[in-house]
Structure 1
């Protein structure tokens, strides 16, 4: 038996959620796509014992989900389908995200789970809008018809599907969502979130200039803490919560923090920002940059005031998180 099911415990956010739950005294069951990864997951999470169960379930199929949810009081749905290539069309990313979310919710509802906390993203909040001077809040939804990238579209439609489910056939199941901005923080192993790639590329010199856009950042440990609050606090049921630490930062500001905090270890961190026109031209021909095309020259600021006021959540200073992220990456075996 387990108190909480965490989908995708081998992932970056999922792993930190499992650690936070174990530290708080919960018994945890987590899913992996490949059972052969169980020893690696246990080593990464430093939990060899019986308080962590590792089971097989894949968002791409129904098998294993009813058993994974059985007996659990809560579910943290953190897992999200990933692609190893650029999607040929939006549905290649959207359909698995929506279908996988509904599989987890149906299993949770069938098992009598009290509450599901779903890891959504700022990508379901802040994209496809005109320029604005005010921060995005939980009342905002991404406009999926505004030519946004497949990832943001998939996060938006998966979250929409989750809210529709609990408002219909999933009646009685409580839902809360956590919508983080770019997630940074210490790594648990060599497999880490794509949001850390920007820091890694600044440090190793493979990013000669920073790109001209600003977004929010948040520590993965604070994201995990917000998941637990959203799981346990009565006021969180039926609510969305943006997770971000203070105001957004331009990439040039992130680079400046790295140089100031790390000194010689940040010798390869870029000092120049690419002009918007040049970045836009590059994004038209570089598949890896295409997803950033709508961000260039823009500031996607958001606020966590709701989580702070309603749940008492507080994010640590993002300068400390950026520093610890870099130190963690530098410490990885080469």
Structure 2
């Protein structure tokens, strides 16, 4: 078994990647920005699987600093670089978000190269593939790149520029370091504990009534457990080197379709889930005055449909039915009291 570093181990995707690695028999290192969160992380992982404490090592490292990365990656065979600025821990400005994402990935890649790591798997996003394009009927693939010069949100711009910087680093200065990238669509799935990841805000808002009507757009959805599985496949399969892999469980779903699945699967417990979609003209008008709708403005009216055929064909990846993931996400949020009763 290998020694693997997972950056951002307390995050939603990072914690599930660490769990999958431990269950597969690997020794895991992970980074956190504050070592005070180490007991919390160990408790979450111990609550989901049994492992010897010595198989998990936690390091302090921050994307905005060189400190700690050489120590964290020393002796590792592989690195899963999951950490990136998110909607919860976003810097104050777009420039700071882009800098943290781009400079952070370069720090991790440089430390990995210098330590003799075989391969880095970068957690990118559908946001680095499908944004800034005219509306289209054909699904997006790994050949597509987000147009960073278009009207897109800072998060999508930061993910795109960070990934482009990663590929350029490996091409010009990687010295044999291998790279693969995983591009999840909207990530849902059960939480490991009481943490409340931003990626589940939509379903949480449907359950608690804070989302009275659905914004008019659609996107792909994928279970966090399947995202972790794809990271492990991309880590070890020789065919993954130098490749990008979209992760989505079937065609895109409108937000209102997700809400209707919640109602159908949870019954009265999803009674507050909206059944109507906001008309596009109304949504665009609301974006002028409503901060939440303003953040969604570049997405309104679009359908970010993508295909994971490449991951299925090349790596044998098989995502679970998205209806099951939607229901299990809601069950998990309710069980961990992330949604008021």
SS in 1 for 2:53: coil
Instruction: Report if the CA contact (8 A) 2:80-2:121 is conserved.
Output: yes
Find the aligned partners of 2:178 and 2:160 in 1 and give their Cα distance: 19
Q: In the alignment, which residue of structure 1 is the partner of 2:157?
A: 153
Find the aligned partners of 1:218 and 1:171 in 2 and give their Cα distance: 34
Q: In the alignment, which residue of structure 2 is the partner of 1:29?
A: 29
SS in 1 for 2:287: helix
Q: In the alignment, which residue of structure 2 is the partner of 1:5?
A: 5
SS in 1 for 2:107: helix
- Cα offset for 1:291? 2.6
Find the aligned partners of 2:200 and 2:289 in 1 and give their Cα distance: 23
Instruction: Report if the CA contact (8 A) 1:94-1:157 is conserved.
Output: yes
Q: Which moved more, 1:15-24 or 1:41-50?
A: 41-50
Find the aligned partners of 1:2 and 1:251 in 2 and give their Cα distance: 40
Alignment TM-score, normalising by the size of structure 2? 0.95
Instruction: Report if the CA contact (8 A) 2:2-2:78 is conserved.
Output: no
CA 1:193/1:250 → structure 2, altered by over 3 Å: closer, same or farther? same
SS in 1 for 2:227: helix
Instruction: Report if the CA contact (8 A) 1:11-1:192 is conserved.
Output: no
Find the aligned partners of 2:235 and 2:92 in 1 and give their Cα distance: 36
Q: In the alignment, which residue of structure 2 is the partner of 1:14?
A: 14
CA 1:294/1:15 → structure 2, altered by over 3 Å: closer, same or farther? same
SS in 2 for 1:263: helix
Selected match of 2:286 from 279, 282, 286 = 282
Find the aligned partners of 1:81 and 1:2 in 2 and give their Cα distance: 27
- Cα offset for 1:289? 2.4
Selected match of 2:199 from 195, 201, 204 = 195
Whether 1:217 aligns to 2:221 is yes
Q: Which runs of 5+ in 2 are unaligned?
A: none
Deviations 1:129-154 (A, max 9, x none): 01111000000000000121100000
Instruction: Report if the CA contact (8 A) 2:88-2:198 is conserved.
Output: no
Instruction: Report if the CA contact (8 A) 1:31-1:55 is conserved.
Output: yes
SS in 1 for 2:138: coil
Q: In the alignment, which residue of structure 2 is the partner of 1:162?
A: 166
Find the aligned partners of 2:86 and 2:227 in 1 and give their Cα distance: 20
Q: In the alignment, which residue of structure 1 is the partner of 2:270?
A: 266
SS in 1 for 2:179: strand
Q: In the alignment, which residue of structure 2 is the partner of 1:185?
A: 189
Alignment TM-score, normalising by the size of structure 1? 0.97
Find the aligned partners of 1:192 and 1:233 in 2 and give their Cα distance: 32
Measured on the aligned residues, the alpha-carbon RMSD in Å equals: 1.5
Find the aligned partners of 1:135 and 1:193 in 2 and give their Cα distance: 27
CA 1:81/1:275 → structure 2, altered by over 3 Å: closer, same or farther? same
Whether 1:78 aligns to 2:71 is no
Instruction: Report if the CA contact (8 A) 2:148-2:160 is conserved.
Output: yes
Instruction: Report if the CA contact (8 A) 1:131-1:298 is conserved.
Output: yes
Instruction: Report if the CA contact (8 A) 1:9-1:15 is conserved.
Output: yes
Deviations 1:56-86 (A, max 9, x none): 1111100010000000000000001246587
Q: Which runs of 5+ in 1 are unaligned?
A: none
Instruction: Report if the CA contact (8 A) 1:2-1:71 is conserved.
Output: no
Selected match of 2:313 from 309, 313, 324 = 309
Instruction: Report if the CA contact (8 A) 2:82-2:123 is conserved.
Output: yes
- Cα offset for 1:295? 1.3
Alignment of 1:115-134 (within 5 A): 115-134=119-138
Structure 1 residue ranges (4+ consecutive) displaced by more than 3 angstroms after TM superposition: 82-89
Q: How many residues align?
A: 334
Q: In the alignment, which residue of structure 2 is the partner of 1:99?
A: 103
Q: In the alignment, which residue of structure 2 is the partner of 1:42?
A: 42
Find the aligned partners of 1:24 and 1:116 in 2 and give their Cα distance: 18
